[in-house]
Structure 1
Amino acid sequence: MSSVLYSLGRWAVSARRLVVAVWVVALVLVGGAAGLLQQGLDNEVSIPGTESQEALDRLAATFPQVSGASAQVIVVAPEGGTIDDPAVRRAIEHGVEELGDVSQVEVVTSPYDDQMAASVSDDERATLLTIQLDGDLGSITDETKDALATETTALARSLPDGAEAHLGGQLFSSKFPEMTLTEGIGLLVALVVLVLTLGSLVAAGLPLLNALLGVGASMGLLFAATALGPINSTTPMLAVMLGLAVGIDYALFIVSRHREQLGTGLSVTESVARATATAGSAVVFAGLTVMIALVGLGVAGIPFLTIMGVAAAVTVGITVLVSLTLLPALLGFAGERLRPKPSRRARRAAAAAAAAQETDDPEVTRRRAPAPAVPEARPNRFFTGWVRAVTKVPALTVVLVIAAMGALSYPALDLRLALPDAGVMEEDDPARLTYDLVSEHFGDGFNGPLIVTGSIVTSTDPLALMEQVGDEIEDLPGVADVPLATPNETADTGIIQVVPEGGPTSAETEDLVREIRGLHDHFLDEYGVDLAVTGFTAVGIDVSDKLGDALLPFALVVVGLSLILLTMVFRSIAVPIKATVGYLFSVGAAFGVVALVFEHGVFAEALNVTRTGPVISFMPIVLMGILFGLAMDYEVFLVSRMREDYVHGGSARHAITTGFQGSAKVVTAAAVIMIAVFVAFVPHGDMNLKPIALGLAVGVAVDAFVVRMVFVPAVLALLGEKAWYMPRWLDRVLPSFDVEGEGLTRELSLADWPEPGATDAVATQDLEVAGRSGAVVGPVSVRVPDGGALLVRGDATAPVSAFLLAVSGRLALTGGVAKTAGLVLPERSSSVRRRVAVVDSAAEGGQPAGAVRQALRDRPAVLVVDATETVGDLAARAELAQALATAQRDGVAVLLGSTGVAATDLAPAGTPMLDVSPGPDTTERDQQTTVTEQEVRA
């Protein structure tokens, strides 16, 4: 990974004009596609397979008049008057007539119509006109909504003074979220933090530009994707919020590493390449974890949530791509302007050294000239004191953190989920005014009536049947009214409108829905009716229930994933467990604070929470998915530096301090930026997004400053050396993910090995490799130049194949150093495998010449032919020798392996031989010396 990213970074700098041009063209194309293809967003939420959705689908066919979307107009007579007053009645009758003529309107109830009667309040001062539309929420056009608003306004004007009319109901229960200037405050805070962290306005601007370009590209793709299917209106806002946060953070990690390396004297190109390789590897890991967690939202089996997760994951993926390609190109354009200026102390020291070396001989002066002053890498005193404080008594620190997280998480037990309705809108919104007036004059339940429906095709008296069932339901506790119980025109389906006493999102309404469903068998046995509960309110309850049921499986997937990924990264058992426990702390604290604000009203007014109560149903699962990736992000950047210092010879305790000093500043800046971006979406944000944004802000704050910077160092200090323990069998099984760039560091250190400008096809030093039988070859030091040849033989106990497969990149080394085709093993094993062809003579039935010729068509750098002792036929050996000679003429290096007699007849005379048989009197050192002294060359 780090090697590929290193090459990518160097290429992006050298081809920076091309990279920028490609991204500009890409932005123009996706922007044009969005403008041409986008079909708009919708607010409809449905879950296939639930009782409410299936019943709604059946009603669409059997009773379309009540299956579509609906709206409400509440008319309130003047104080002291009633709706029967002549002036009020004339206005309402005319208004009902005009509303009924609006396109897509199926029917409008009227308080003066016996067949389609509208609800009237007990004091007869208010009436609730129900507008039934032809189509679901997604199919109702903006023109229809505007026409309904216009006619309602006309109705309000025609009413006597003191009367009022307002439009609301299901159709207007949610609105599309919009970006405001408040969200821009988060970007300003991010800019300030970046300037303070990076010390340069140019450097600070690059992460912001990186994030904005990534978000712009992803938004273009998202709106273009609306041509393929409906996308929920909350999806773009969630993607923007997440894209801005991770885009700035990912770029910050790369830019800060680049400036740190420039400060040590690296050239711009080399520094960009190394920053892309090291910090970029961690960015890839962090981005992948976020994307996997977001795509994992599909575990819930809810289409709109799956689309939301995929859209957000695509945004993160594009942000990662921008960070690894466009950002290095921009760093190349910035050039020397990002190099930190040396401190006064460093400049004075350099000047003093130059003065001390002054001489009359200009040549001597030139040779003695000191290197340019570079900034001093001094530990930050604040973070040094921090880490020492939290690790001084680690057991006490751990106990305090657990107690604090438990207290902060406790309110989460009261967290309730529901789909928001018009009651959470701004108080001056027409739909909110309608909602409040309905609650005042009719009761909360009229804002979310239930529909109970079932087939009555076997009934001989459908009217009486529906009346009997309606009366029985009306007697249930929690039912305020049953205004309608009727069959459809064909008398095969009946509906009962049930008005609960509680509001649409109340616990009482949820209990009523469950009670009616619990009486399913009773109504089936008593009346022969297979009843189902549906309607907007019931759909919302089913959505919440299904999301709640999916929360535990999703949590198990996320927790399991974090354990596996972190074990791969840190090669430890304790570190992943500690990290996962810390993640759960962060999630619990986020849920607890959200419950405090939205359920208990703590700071609700300050945060512009328009009504306390349940939060949107998908908040927990979305928050867990996003926070998982961000938590792993901080874990990797903080703990990887500690592991790097420990692996390079430091003590476990000392590595905590040095690693913390090296990464805490950047992690702090990244967390502050994340918090600022998320908090900016809270005050005037959409009520669907508000609890998610608040939860993420709290989760990031707790995860960065409490879990990763307090709990993690304390646990590592408590465990000491045991923190980095990894069973050997598990280490062999799990693949390695090099986020610290150790592989790249090793490659760079071996760039001039075995000697500057060497063109060896194969070079090894003290190489050791174990065969399947457990026998070990080595240590072996050997060099085979390009186009050269080497005979490798061994006895029955020597794993000749193991050596050949090792230098071919197909078997892991157990020790030593090896390069094949100029590529370091095992770091570049995949690239080596593409450049080395391997032919097993035994597998070819002792006739390998054809396979060799086939392999040479791919123009390998090295050809390995193993088990040549199985080629017993003289003609076959002659044919093979001819093919090998052709390979060498084409510059291909040839390695021939055999057990027993060396294949001297297959290679040119004088080809050196490597005997990997230890022999009865031959030690490993003897074997190494013998091979080295042969000086295997062309």
Structure 2
Amino acid sequence: MTRGSVTVRVARWSAVHPWRAIGLWLLLVVVAVGMSVVIPKQHTQSKDNWVGQSGQAAELVEKAGLGDRPAETVLITDPDGPLSKAAATTAIAQLSQKLAALPSVQAVGKPVWSENGKAVLVPMELKGTADDAADAIDKIVATTADVQKANPELTIAQAGNASVDAGIWKQVGSDLAKAEKLSLPITFGLMLLAFGALIAAGIPVLLAFSAVGAALGFYAPLSYLFPDGGSVANVVLLIGMAVGVDYSLFYLKREREERRKGRSTLDAVEIAAATSGHSVVVSGLAVIVSMAGLYVAQDATFTSMATATIVVVAVAVLGSLTVLPALLAKLGHRVDRPRVPLLWRLNRRIGPAGISRRILAPVLRHPRTALSFSAVIVIALAVPALGMKTESADLNTLPQTIPEVRTLKALQDNFPSQGGLSYDVVAQGGDAAAALAGLQGSAVKSGEFVVPPGHPIRQANGTAVLTLVSVLPEGSANAETALDQLREQLAPAALGSTTWAVGGESAESVDYGNNQRDKLPWVIAFVLALTLVMMAVTFRSVAIAVVTTVLNLASVAACFGVLSLVFQHTWAEGLLGFTSSGFVVSWIPLFLFVILVGLSMDYHVFVLGRIREGVVEGLTPSEAVRKGITESAGVVTSAAAVMVSVFAVFATLAMLEMKQMGVGLAVAVLIDATLVRIVMLPSIMVLLGRRAWWPNRLHKQALAPVDRELVGVS
């Protein structure tokens, strides 16, 4: 890299015209936030997630116009014992009157009493589509709550697709608010430890937060092409804070380092732009390339995650290359004010890489031993991944703190045929209804399925639909067992040559999980191939590209192993506050792989860049590794600490999927930043020597004093 590089030219312009750069950034953020206000974000529809045979069944049902109207159920029980029919009848009358008066309710059905006499349910049919029900559900739930207040001696609660979804999103919103409240002060505290000064600590946090806000705004119009699958805000906050702080940290640390060497503020900014700025660009591209792997999964939710993450990473890179140099140029030495006395002295006393230097010394003296020892640890952590079970999320993986989830479980306990594992068998052509009647008889006779009351065989336009409910308890494994029995035994025997498909909510959940497992190898191949090519081009070294790929796989394997140990067993339940489901949610491994490859490249590129500077300056491979690791260790440690802390916050949330994602990311980054980057990477680089840069032959270059400092990683 030289003074003519793009990152240096952009940084120089921003440093020379700081108010223009700052003003343009503020305008960008304001416009983006304004877009999020005036442009309604689009969400995925159920058809966007149709896959496999259940997707074919859903399409047949939709074309025939046989889809069920959205429905909700009110459950009435007595918390103190047997249900009083008199009290329940009074409450039912109030419910029927109030609910029937709502414009979104089509009809209120007759009450159904449980066989055990402990509960009664009141079914209701809603108008319009599932999306219409979602829009109107708050008023319906509020009406049920009013009847509950009027009958305090009873427990009156509502459950259904719309109300459960609303309860889940309320929990997600609460979790997200908690993550925001915790992550910002924790990140700021870590920056104080890293810099010992308030302004220097505040700049990375401020820029990262503004990047998150801007990215959410820019995603609003993009959601018309890539609708939000429900997790965009979580992912943008998670990734945006991590990479936004890291990119500013890389840049700011290098600028301060150069000022300590006596450089002027402008020269320090240019040197930081040529080195750390270039690493930021490469790191950002690595994350973007990795996230693009989610497009390979051809899943609406993953597509929205990938799009939003690419946007937030691009905005974070732009901010670190433009407004950050402007702020540093304008503040000058004042960036280290006001100092926090104790932290400032501690920061100066420890110095850069105080701890890492001590760890690195034996690694460089005995690289083979260090590599063998670290490899054994990584393999030991990765072994449990061989037994990792992945299944779709179900009722048991949802937090029991959600009232609607508790209601749905109580409904299933008292009315087994009204909930649980439900399947829709769709037949088309010939005498489809008669064929399904035969299937109904054989399914019920098997003792494994029941027909829910009020769900006769529906038929229209040559298509018929039969709803069956499995007697097996709610659970992903049971859902697949019942589905296999229907698809492989009962349906083929009863329906013969008739065109048929088994769908319904339980089948959709199973098919979705299987689809994620099938797509995972393709995503892995896509991401590894692209990142390998990118590293080979960036460093002009095949060896570096291969080493990077191997180390990334080591980190991911260790992460998957820890996930299996934590979430497939019960020993960590009390520590993390969850109930083990015995499996990892099916979409988590695919998502984690993509994220981890991208994030691990974050400081990997930065470390390799500093090592390469030493090689170009003429140092021996061992000296270059020592110089590169020690000079970058402080930044890498701070960057990893930020990532681990942000991800660890998500491990404290109520939603099991967010908890698994947080634990996986935190553990992987911790392993990657310590064992992999401080032990495995330097030992490999020392053992390879100059062959690490093959086929590029680096040698000491005769450069002017200032230009020598601008040697980067191109």
Q: Decide whether the 8 Å contact of 1:168 with 1:431 is kept in 2.
A: yes
Shift of residue 200, structure 1, vs aligned partner: 2.5
The reply on whether 1:166 has 2:168 as its aligned counterpart is no
> Shift of the alpha carbon at 1:317?
0.5
Please tell me whether the aligned partners of residues 259 and 340 of structure 1 are also in contact (alpha carbons under 8 angstroms): no
| Ranges in structure 2 where 5+ consecutive residues have no aligned partner | 339-347
Contact 1:466–1:485 (CA under 8 A) maintained in structure 2: no
Q: Deviations over 1:794-853 (max 9, x none)?
A: xxxxxxxxxxxxxxxxxxxxxxxxxxxxxx9xx99xxxxxxxxxxxxxxxxxxxxxxxxx
Residues 639-788 of structure 1 correspond to what in structure 2 (within 5 A)? 639-684=608-653, 686-726=655-695, 749=707
Distance (Å, rounded) in 1 between the aligned partners of 2:58 and 2:567: 31
> What residue is the counterpart of 1:517 in the other structure?
487
Query: In 1, distance between residues paired with 2:317 and 2:352?
Result: 30
Q: 1:203 to 1:80 in 2, by over 3 A?
A: closer
- Contact 1:70–1:130 (Cα < 8 Å) also in 2: yes
Secondary structure of 1:188's aligned partner: helix
Matching residue within 508, 516, 534 for 2:503: 534
Change (3 A) 1:383 1:199: same
Partner of 1:11: 13
Q: 1:244-255 to 2 correspondence within 5 Å?
A: 244-255=241-252
Give the superposition deviation at 1:434.
0.8
Counterpart residue number, 1:56: 58
The yes-or-no answer on 1:578 pairing with 2:547 is yes
2:407 aligned with 1:406: no
Q: Which residue in the other structure is 2:273 paired with?
A: 276
- Distance in 1, Cα, partners of 2:309 & 2:562: 24
Alignment deviations for residues 699-750 of structure 1 (CA, whole Å, 9 cap, x no partner): 111111111111112222333343333278xx9xxxxxxxx9x999779649
Shift, 1:525, TM fit: 5.3
Deviations along 1:102-147, whole A, 9 cap, x unmatched?
4444455434xxxxxx5x54423234444444455434343x2122
Indicate conservation of the 8 Å contact 2:288/2:313, yes or no: yes
- Aligned match for 1:435, one of 408, 418, 422: 408
Residue of structure 2 in register with 1:779 after alignment: none
Residue 138 of structure 2 corresponds to 146
Query: What does residue range 35-184 of structure 1 map to in structure 2 within 5 Å?
Result: 35-39=37-41, 41=43, 46-66=48-68, 68-76=69-77, 81=82, 85-92=85-92, 95-96=95-96, 98-111=98-111, 121-142=114-135, 144-156=136-148, 161=153, 163-174=154-165, 175-176=168-169, 177-178=172-173, 179-184=176-181
Among 406, 427, 449, the residue aligned to 1:479 = 449
Aligned 8 A contact 2:479 2:510 in 1? no
Q: Distance in 1 between matches of 2:427 and 2:93?
A: 33
Q: What's 1:621 paired with?
A: 590
Query: How far 1:478 sits from its partner (Å)?
Result: 4.9
Check if 1:470 corresponds to 2:424.
no
CA distance in structure 2 between the aligned counterparts of 1:494 and 1:139, rounded to whole angstroms: 25
Equivalent residues of 2:425, 2:467 under 8 A apart: yes
Per-residue deviation, residues 134-191 of structure 1 (Å, max 9, x unmatched)? 455434343x212221332244456683x42221232233432223345333332322
Against the structure 1 CA distance between its residues 396 and 293, is the aligned structure 2 distance closer, same or farther, given a 3 Å change threshold? Answer: same
Aligned with residue 31 of structure 1, among 21, 30, 33: 33
Q: Percent identity?
A: 27
Asked whether the equivalents of residues 144 and 156 of structure 2 are also in contact (C-alpha less than 8 Å), the reply is yes
Asked if the contact 2:75–2:158 (Cα under 8 Å) also holds between the matched residues in 1, the reply is yes
Q: What secondary structure sits across from 1:446 in the alignment?
A: coil
Deviations for 1:368-402, whole angstroms, at most 9, x for unmatched residues?
A: xxxxxxx9997744222111123333333223323
Letter in 1 for 2:245: I
Deviation at 1:667, TM superposition (A): 0.5
Question: How many Å separate the matches in 1 of 2:380 and 2:351?
Answer: 38
For residues 335 and 236 of structure 1, do their structure 2 counterparts lie closer, same or farther at Cα, with a shift above 3 Å needed? Answer: same
Relative to structure 2, which stretch is displaced further, 467-476 or 244-253? 467-476
Deviation at 1:486, TM superposition (A): 2.9
Q: Could you say what secondary structure the match of 1:605 adopts?
A: helix
In structure 2, distance between residues paired with 1:277 and 1:477:
72
Candidates 614, 637, 640, aligned match of 2:606: 637
Change (3 A) 1:81 1:466: farther
CA contact (8 A) 2:425 2:501 kept: yes
Is the partner of 2:643 in helix, strand or coil?
Answer: helix
Greater mean alpha carbon deviation, residues 515-524 or residues 424-433: 515-524
Tell me if 1:261 matches 2:261.
no
CA distance in 2, matches of 1:5, 1:64: 59
Question: Which residue in 2 is equivalent to 1:900?
Answer: none
Residue aligned with 2:574, SS: coil
2:417 and 2:452 in contact (8 A); partners too: no
Contact (CA 8 Å) 1:46, 1:539: kept in 2 or not?
no
CA deviation map 1:61-95 (0-9, x unaligned): 434451x5443332335666468x34424533653
Question: Residues 87 and 160 of structure 1 are in contact (CA less than 8 Å); yes or no, is this contact kept in structure 2?
Answer: no
Which deviations, in whole Å up to 9, do the C-alpha atoms of 1:567-625 show, x marking residues without a partner?
22333333322221221121122222223333323323332335635444322222111
- Please name the residue that 1:367 is paired with: none
Flag the 1:333–1:208 CA change in 2: closer, same or farther, 3 A: same
Question: Would the aligned equivalents of 2:412 and 2:419 in 1 still touch at CA under 8 Å?
Answer: yes
**TM superposition shift of 1:234:** 1.1
Q: CA RMSD in A?
A: 3.5
Cα distance in 2 for partners of 1:507, 1:583 equals: 32
Evaluate the alpha carbon distance shift between residue 222 and residue 689 of structure 1 in structure 2; reply closer, same or farther with a 3 A threshold: farther
TM-superposed deviation, 1:660: 1.2
Query: Which residue does 2:345 correspond to in 1?
Result: none
Q: What is the TM-score when the length of structure 1 is the normalising length?
A: 0.68
Query: Could you say if the C-alpha distance between residues 65 and 641 of structure 1 is closer, same or farther in structure 2, counting changes exceeding 3 Å?
Result: closer
| Residues 198 and 204, structure 1, Cα contact 8 Å, conserved in 2 | yes
Over 3 Å counting, the alpha-carbon distance change for 1:592 and 1:145 in structure 2 is same
Q: Secondary structure at the match of 1:606?
A: helix
Correspondent of 2:218 among 218, 221, 234: 221
Residues 1:419 and 1:14: Cα distance change in structure 2 (over 3 Å): same
1:434 maps to amino acid: T
Task: Rate the CA distance shift 1:620–1:6 in 2: closer, same or farther, 3 A.
Answer: same
Q: 1:747 to 1:173 in 2, by over 3 A?
A: farther
Q: Structure 1's 490 and 8: CA in aligned 2 closer, same or farther, altered over 3 A?
A: closer
Distance 2:130 2:638 in 1: 43
Contact 1:43-1:233 at 8 Å conserved across structures: no
- Whole-Å separation in 1 of the counterparts to 2:493 and 2:462: 16
Which entry has the higher C-alpha Rg, 1 or 2?
1
Taking the aligned partners of 2:373 and 2:657, their CA distance within structure 1 comes to 34
Deviation of 1:224 (Å): 4.5
TM, length-normalised to structure 2: 0.88
Larger strand fraction of residues: 1
Q: Distance in 1 between matches of 2:350 and 2:139?
A: 67
Question: In structure 2, do the counterparts of structure 1 residues 615 and 481 end up closer, same or farther at CA, with 3 Å as the change threshold?
Answer: farther
- Residues 104/488 of structure 1: CA separation in 2 closer, same or farther (3 Å cut): farther
Q: Is the 8 A contact 2:532 2:546 kept in 1?
A: yes
Q: Tell me whether 507-516 or 167-176 shows the greater mean CA deviation.
A: 167-176
1:563 match: 532
Query: Larger relative CO (CA 8 A, sep 6+): 1 or 2?
Result: 2
Residue 468 (structure 2) aligns with: 498
> Number of residues paired by the alignment?
697
Which residue in 1 is equivalent to 2:186?
A: 189
1:929 aligned partner: none
Match for residue 238 of structure 1? 235
Tell me the CA shift for residue 645 of structure 1: 1.3
Aligned to 1:603: 572
